[in-house]
């Protein structure tokens, strides 16, 4: 979970937009910010399984 939080903080610090397939997540909206957190958490979980 720490990696997901720090990844999200690093993206926010760099004002980076996250693009998923054809959709752009607007990190200024709480719902989209939540999606970014979930995606980062799943990535960390997947890495732990490998």
Token pair listed for 12: 């926010």
Instruction: State the pLDDT at residue 25.
Output: 74
Instruction: State the pLDDT at residue 31.
Output: 85
Three-state helix/strand/coil letters over 1-50:
CHHHHHHHHHHHHCCCCEEECCEEECCCCHHHHHHHHHHHHHHHHHHHHC
How far apart CA 34 and CA 48 sit, in angstroms, is 21
Instruction: State the pLDDT at residue 33.
Output: 85
Q: What is the pLDDT of residues 1-50, one digit of tens each?
A: 577 677 777 877 888 776 656 567 777 888 888 888 888 888 888 888 77
Is the separation of the CB atoms in 25 and 35 below 8 Å? yes
CA nearest neighbour of 7 among 30, 39, 29, 48: 39
């Amino acid at each position: 979970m720490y990696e997901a939080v720090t990844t999200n903080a690093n993206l926010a610090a760099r004002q980076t937009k996250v693009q998923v397939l054809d959709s752009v997540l607007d990190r200024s909206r709480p719902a989209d910010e939540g999606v970014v957190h979930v995606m980062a958490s799943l990535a960390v979980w997947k890495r732990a399984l490998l």
